[in-house]
Amino acid sequence: MYPANFHYTKEHEWVRVEGDVGVVGITDHAQNQLGDIVYVDLPKTGTRVEQGKTLGSVESVKAVSDIYSPVSGEVVEVNDTLATAPEKLNEDPHGEAWLVKIKLSAPGEIQQLLSAEDYQNYVAAEESKH
């Protein structure tokens, strides 16, 4: 379910490292909790973001939720297809529906994130609370 080469946050974002760039998205668990996503608000290319700070937001029929950046750096590419096809976030959150690419300013931050196995356990523990 959760790709082993991704790194995860407890706020349900993922990042995949490609050289000095991190590709960022939200997890399948996140899209499932949000329900049908109707709008995605993403930063412009060139925006500087910090780990743990707001990167953008996703709007579902239920609510608007912040997306927190899993890494610090500069946004170098934005997935524009989500502007017209937000449903892709529900359909393929780990693939086609990545959100932004960030040029990493502190690659060491990756070590603080969860592995796929740890994230899976975290989600299972969250689920059992409900």
Partner 1 sequence: MIRKVRPHINQNEPLLFERSSPGKRGYQLPALDVPAVDAAAVLGGRNTRAEIEGFPEVSEVEAIRHFTRLSTHNYAIDLGLYPLGSCTMKYNPRVNEQVARIEGLAWAHPYQPESLSQGILEVMGALEKMLAEITGMDAVTLQPAAGAHGEFTGILLIRALLESRGNPRKKLLIPDSAHGTNPATATTAGYAVENIKSNARGMVDVEELAKSVTEDVAALMITNPNTLGVFEENITRIAEILHAKGAMVYMDGANMNALVGIARPGDFGVDVMHLNLHKTFSTPHGGGGPGSGPVAVKGPLAPFLPTPRLQRVGSRWTWNYDLAQSIGRVRAFYGNIGMHIRALAYILAHGGDGLRNATKDAVLNANYIRTLIEPYYDLPHKAPTMHECVFSDDRQSKRGVRTGDIAKRLIDYGFHPYTVSFPLIVHGALMIEPTETESKDELDLFIDAMISIAQEVEENPEVVLKAPHDTRTSRVDEVTAARKPVVRWKPESTSGKAAD
Distance CA 81, CA 99 (A): 9
Q: Which region, left, alpha or beta, applies to residue 115 given φ > 0 means left and ψ of -120 to 50 means alpha? A: beta
> Is the CB of 20 or the CB of 62 nearer to partner 1?
62
Task: Count helices and strands (H / E) in the chain.
Answer: 4, 9
Within positions 35 to 74, which residues make up the interface with partner 1, using CB under 8 A? 36, 38-39, 54, 59, 61-65
Sheet of 54-60, strand order: 37-41, 54-60, 64-68
Buried b (16+ CB within 10 A) or exposed e, 7-17: bbbeebbbbbe
Among the listed ranges 2-10, 18-26, 33-41, 97-105, the one in contact with partner 1 (CB under 8 A) is 33-41
> Is the CB of 20 or the CB of 127 nearer to partner 1?
127
Least CB distance to partner 1 at residue 14 (A): 21
> Is the CB of 40 or the CB of 114 nearer to partner 1?
40
Are 124 and 13 a contacting pair, CB within 8 Å?
Answer: no
For residue 10, state whether it binds partner 1 (rule: CB under 8 A).
Answer: no
Least CB distance to partner 1 at residue 124 (A): 15
> Is the CB of 50 or the CB of 77 nearer to partner 1?
50
Q: In the complex, which residues of this chain contact partner 1 (CB under 8 A)?
A: 36, 38-39, 54, 59, 61-65, 86-87, 130
